[in-house]
Amino acid sequence: MAFDEMMNADNVPREPYQSYFEWYSSQDPAHLKNKARDAENIFRRTGITFAVYGHADSSEKLIPFDIVPRIISGREWRKLAQGIEQRVIALNAFLDDIYHKQEIIRAGRIPRELIERNDAFLPEMIGFSPPGGVYTHIVGTDIVRTGEDQFYVLEDNARTPSGVSYMLENRETMMQMFPELFQANKVQRVEDYPFQLRQSLASLAPPGCKGKPRVAVLTPGIYNSAYYEHSFLADMMGVELVEGSDLRVIDGKVKMRTTRGYEAIDVLYRRVDDDFLDPLTFRPDSCLGVPGIMDVYRAGNITIANAPGTGIADDKAIYSYMPEIVEFYTGSKPILQNVPTWRCSEPDSLKYVLEHIEELVIKEVHGSGGYGMLVGPTASRKERVDFAEKLRAKPGNYIAQPTLSLSTVPIFVNKGIAPRHVDLRPYVLVSDKVRIIPGGLTRVALKKGSLVVNSSQGGGTKDTWVLED
pLDDT in tens, 112-141: 999 998 889 999 999 999 999 999 999 999
C-alpha 92/C-alpha 307 separation (Å) is 11
Confidence of residue 44 (pLDDT cuts 50, 70, 90): confident
Q: Is the pLDDT of residue 428 over 80?
A: yes
The stretches of 238-380 forming alpha helices (DSSP H) are 293-298, 316-319, 322-330, 347-355
pLDDT at position 61 is 66
pLDDT tens for each residue of 153-186: 999 999 999 999 999 999 999 999 999 999 999 9
pLDDT at position 202 is 97
C-alpha 397/C-alpha 367 separation (Å) is 9
CB proximity list for 261: less than 8 A, separation 6 or greater: none
Q: Domains for the chain: give ranges and CATH numbers.
A: 15-206+302-337+405-466 (no CATH), 207-301 (3.40.50.11290), 345-402 (3.30.1490.270)
| Contact by Cβ (8 Å): 14, 148 | no
Q: Is the pLDDT of residue 58 over 70?
A: no
Strand, coil or helix: 37: helix
Radius of gyration (C-alpha) of the chain in whole angstroms: 22
CA-wise closest residue to 165 among 307, 36, 43, 306: 43
SS3 breakdown of the chain: % helix, strand, coil, rounded to 5? 35, 25, 40
CA-wise closest residue to 126 among 307, 327, 366, 315: 307
pLDDT tens for each residue of 313-328: 988 889 999 999 999 9
Alpha-carbon distances of 467 from 20, 77, 217, 335, 439, rounded to whole Å: 12, 9, 32, 21, 9
C-alpha 308/C-alpha 286 separation (Å) is 16
Q: Is the pLDDT of residue 368 over 70?
A: no
Query: How many C-alpha atoms does 217 have within 13 Å on its Cβ side?
Result: 23
C-alpha 6/C-alpha 207 separation (Å) is 49
C-alpha 362/C-alpha 355 separation (Å) is 13
Q: Tell me what percent of the residues of the chain surpass a pLDDT of 90.
A: 80
Q: In this structure, is the dihedral angle defined by the CA atoms of residues 145, 143, 341 and 382, taken in order, positive or negative?
A: positive
pLDDT tens for each residue of 407-424: 999 999 988 899 999 999
Alpha-carbon distances of 272 from 262, 284, 289, rounded to whole Å: 21, 15, 7
Identify the H or E element spanning 398.
Answer: strand 398-402
pLDDT at position 63 is 80
Least reliable range by pLDDT among 50-59, 201-210, 263-272: 50-59
